[in-house]
Amino acid sequence: MGKALMIGLLLEGLLFEGLLFGGLSLAGCTTPVSPARQVWCDLNQARHPSVVVVAAMTRPELDEVNAYNAKGARWCGWKP
């Protein structure tokens, strides 16, 4: 067997082992993704506009805030 062929096979084997080991080690480091509701709860909080802001809001804006807070109460256990 020629020296170049032996080096090529050795490098190919090392490359395969490196990819295999690297892939296996990365697979062990994955963490489960949180459910969508938990992510939403982690990123949001209840909206409590002031009396002045509420007085200036339109009916659709009030409905949106109420729907948002109701969703937070259902999903995250927010208290009114």
State the Cα–Cα distance between residues 54 and 51, nearest whole angstrom.
Answer: 5
Compute CA distances 2 → 10, 12, 60, whole Å: 12, 15, 80
pLDDT single digits (tens) 44-79: 999 999 999 999 999 999 999 999 999 999 999 999
* Mean per-residue pLDDT over the chain, rounded: 79
3-state secondary structure of 27: helix
Which pTM was predicted?
A: 0.55
Which carries the bigger pLDDT value, residue 68 or residue 2? Answer: 68
Q: Do residues 53 and 47 lie in contact, with contact meaning Cβ atoms separated by under 8 Å?
A: no
